[in-house]
Chains A and B, each alone.
Chain A
Amino acid sequence: MSYQLKPWHEIPIGSIVPEAGSSKINHTGSWRMLRPVLNYDKCTHCLICWIFCPDDSIPVSPQERFETDFEYCKGCGICAVECPYDALEMVPEMEIKLKELEEELG
């Protein structure tokens, strides 16, 4: 996450931010303690998790739910609680990181 602050004479009048949705440079995924792990066999792509996601980190098409965007997922767990099919499980981020590290080291 980094952005260059502009000198005063380049700032648009009225503190206008001309670029929409520019907050995407803040990768809030680093806040996460628990990671929602999706079980694709149980997921019916009903999209309920998507509408309740506070961080827009569940990419969807009108027909399908894709893998969670871990760049932005803060790991609140609303998706896991609200999923009517129990397709999501919250796993501590540390466990996943340790597993990844173990695999890497063999």
Chain B
Amino acid sequence: MAKKRPIALLSELASHKETFGGDMPLAPGHRMCIGCGIPPIVNEVILAINEPVIISNATGCLEVTTGVYPVTAWNVPWIHVNFQSAATVMAGVEAAYKVLKKKGVIPEDKKIHFVAFGGDGGTYDIGFQALSATAERGHNVLYVCYNNEGYQNTGYQKSSATPIGAYTKTTPVGKAKVGKQEPRKDLTMIMAAHGIPYVAQASPHIFRDLTRKTKKAISMDGFKFINVLEPCTLSWRFSPEDTMRLAKLAVETRYWPVYEVIDGKYWKVNIKPKKPKPIEEYIAAQPRWKHVLKYPEILEKIQKEIDEKWNLLLHLEEMSKKLAEEEGVDYEELFKVPED
């Protein structure tokens, strides 16, 4: 029999599980697709927070599968709101918490964390103005976007997170047009431009990184945003067991850079693949996008977008090191998670 060697971090997370009566924050029996990448994201984020949390959830895959009336899969307080309001409803809850604390209804030392979950439809497109407004008002909320690059809940329509050339129900592939015509929007950069305390991009297969980023985010006061890539087995049309393999491939090909930004000015790229895999490998794994391999001009555009973004990130990192030095701030210290 092999020796027992639990990974220290996972062992720690497993002990947090006891607070939910032995189940994960997201209990079994939900109607998520076979091999869905959303539950690991939700579980990693909530288990990393070792204090009470309240969740709000925009309409999307996560909501329709976990909140089928009259049962719920959630082991934490959860509010379902309409498509655009995940961020603003959480802002309201947070404001109520502050007032109740002032009135003495909630004890002074009780710490509650506020987390909003939204898909890329509810974050990039429909919920964007509410998200931006909540960020501007600086509510103490952590917003986690699970980005599956389209409206998968309604059968895969295009969203502004869908990459160029990809097939969706609203951007079919034919003689006149090949999939989506526009490149994807970079919401993480837009959120960083809000100058909020913490913005990050993560991938669920690197659980170390995602849990650390969650811990870092909740240690800060103000609006925080984490964008997580979530390969969708149903709409990207790959085999269900490959969900985490695709999330890994996205990072290895630099398609999904894993980085974090503090105060909108100190940038750090967390994972730098030394020998990036060719983007063709990532594209070939997804039948929704595979046809672009036949169109070198689209492939070139995709590669150019990835290389330019990567280069920009490296430059921003270099510049923020210089900026920190000029301001007399310890650059490495900025990204450390404070011990409690």
Residues of A within 8 A of B (CB): 3, 5-6, 15, 17, 19-28, 31, 40-48, 50-57, 59-64, 69, 71-72, 74-78, 80-82, 85, 87, 90
Closest 9 CB pairs of A and B: A77-B241, A21-B27, A76-B35, A23-B29, A72-B28, A47-B10, A26-B29, A23-B73, A56-B24
Taking CB atoms, residues of chain A closer than 8 Å to B28 are: 23-24, 28, 55-57, 69, 71-72
B27-49: which residues lie under 8 A (CB-CB) from chain A?
A: 27-32, 34-40, 43-44
B237-282: which residues lie under 8 A (CB-CB) from chain A?
A: 239-245
B77-93: which residues lie under 8 A (CB-CB) from chain A?
A: none
Taking CB atoms, residues of chain A closer than 8 Å to B1 are: 40-41
Output the least CB separation between B235 and chain A (Å).
16
| Contact, CB under 8 Å: A54 / B242 | no
Classify chain B's interface size: 35 or more
Whether B103 is near chain A, meaning CB under 8 Å from some CB there, is: no
Interface string of B188-205 (1 = CB under 8 A from A): 000000000000000011
* 4 more A-B residue pairs beyond the given contacts A50-B14, A55-B39, with a C-beta to C-beta distance below 8 A: A21-B72, A21-B73, A72-B28, A76-B35
Given contacts A31-B34, A51-B40, contact A78 B243 (CB under 8 A): yes
Given contacts A51-B43, A76-B241, A78-B244, contact A61 B29 (CB under 8 A): no
Give Cα A78–Cα B40 distance, bound, in whole angstroms.
11
Give Cα A46–Cα B7 distance, bound, in whole angstroms.
5
Taking CB atoms, residues of chain A closer than 8 Å to B5 are: 44-46
Q: 10 A–B contact pairs at CB < 8 A?
A: A5-B70, A21-B23, A22-B71, A23-B28, A44-B5, A47-B6, A47-B10, A56-B28, A61-B14, A75-B34
Q: Quick one: which of B4, B30, B38, B74 contacts A45, CB cutoff 8 A?
A: B4
Given contacts A21-B74, A56-B24, A74-B34, contact A41 B10 (CB under 8 A): no
Output the least CB separation between A65 and chain B (Å).
8
A41 nearest CB neighbor, chain B only:
B1
Give Cα A23–Cα B93 distance, bound, in whole angstroms.
25
Taking CB atoms, residues of chain A closer than 8 Å to B14 are: 47, 50, 60-62
| Contact, CB under 8 Å: B27 / A23 | yes
Given contacts A41-B2, A63-B4, A78-B244, contact A6 B31 (CB under 8 A): no
B204 nearest CB neighbor, chain A only:
A52
A4 nearest CB neighbor, chain B only:
B70
Taking CB atoms, residues of chain B closer than 8 Å to A28 are: 28-31
Whether B175 is near chain A, meaning CB under 8 Å from some CB there, is: no
Taking CB atoms, residues of chain B closer than 8 Å to A27 are: 29
| Contact, CB under 8 Å: A77 / B35 | yes
Give Cα A24–Cα B240 distance, bound, in whole angstroms.
22
| Contact, CB under 8 Å: B10 / A48 | yes
